[in-house]
């Protein structure tokens, strides 16, 4: 699991951008701690319950834990249906209930390493879950990323950027309200020919 995407980010007012000074030092996130939380959620029975509801003909839901091309491409779990069709899923967990979906713009902001909303991914879906309520949004990756390309700048201006400080790097995330993001994904599924 990509641990940094499972952090419980706050969705309050935007953190200072650029030369702003925060009155408190930023909380430092540690990968090992986040990975432990992620792995605990991977083994939670509620994931399997969610997948069975979403895919009634589910035959198996196998977690991908070893580091390799699949993990690096965003594959946390492989779902196989009775017909043999497979889907790959990147699992994101928020440990608190928030009204937004936190889109990772930069996994390393200073080095401009793209986050999961804009980098090429090998997965079919982002399974974005809120642990306290057990609600999961299955976000289809191509329409999600197309929605980001069409709306990302506007969302940054409107909703701000949340930064997570890690040892040696900072991730930048944009909290988009759930209804806004879901409508943008629907809109992104409609493609027009050039006029």
CA dist., res. 140 & res. 126, Å (int):
7
Tens digit of pLDDT at every position of the chain (195 positions): 444 344 333 333 333 333 333 445 556 555 455 555 555 555 678 999 999 999 999 999 999 987 766 667 789 999 999 999 999 999 999 999 999 999 999 999 999 999 999 999 999 999 999 999 999 999 999 999 999 999 999 999 999 999 999 999 999 999 999 999 999 999 999 998 886
SS3 label, residue 38: helix
- The answer to whether the pTM exceeds 0.85 is no
- Provide the edge-to-edge strand list for the sheet that holds 113-114: 113-114, 100-108, 169-177, 162-166
Q: What is the CA radius of gyration of the chain?
A: 17
User: What is residue 194's predicted lDDT score, i.e. its pLDDT?
Assistant: 83
**Which candidate, 137, 139, 114, 145, places its Cα nearest to that of 124?**
139
CA dist., res. 141 & res. 127, Å (int):
10
User: What is residue 136's predicted lDDT score, i.e. its pLDDT?
Assistant: 96
Phi-psi region of 182 (alpha: psi -120 to 50; beta: other; left: phi over 0): alpha
Question: Alpha-carbon torsion 9, 14, 17, 21, what sign?
Answer: negative
């Amino acid at each position: 699991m990509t641990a940094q995407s499972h952090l419980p980010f706050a969705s309050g007012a935007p953190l200072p951008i650029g030369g702003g000074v925060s009155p408190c030092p930023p909380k430092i996130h540690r990968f090992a701690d986040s990975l432990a939380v992620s792995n605990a959620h991977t083994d939670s029975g509620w994931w399997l319950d969610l997948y069975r509801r979403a895919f009634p003909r589910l035959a198996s839901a196998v977690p991908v834990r070893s580091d390799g091309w699949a993990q690096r491409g965003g594959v946390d779990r492989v779902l196989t249906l009775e017909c043999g069709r497979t889907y790959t899923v990147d699992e994101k967990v928020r440990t608190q209930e928030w009204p937004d979906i936190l889109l990772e713009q930069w996994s390393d902001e200073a080095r401009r390493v793209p986050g999961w909303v804009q980098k090429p991914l090998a997965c079919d879906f982002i399974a974005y879950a809120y642990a306290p309520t057990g609600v999961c949004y299955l976000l289809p990756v191509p329409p999600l990323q197309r929605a980001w390309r069409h709306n990302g700048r506007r969302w940054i201006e409107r909703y701000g950027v949340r930064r997570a400080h890690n040892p040696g790097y900072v991730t930048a995330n944009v909290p988009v309200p759930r209804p806004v993001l879901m409508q943008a994904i629907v809109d992104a599924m409609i493609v027009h020919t050039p006029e």
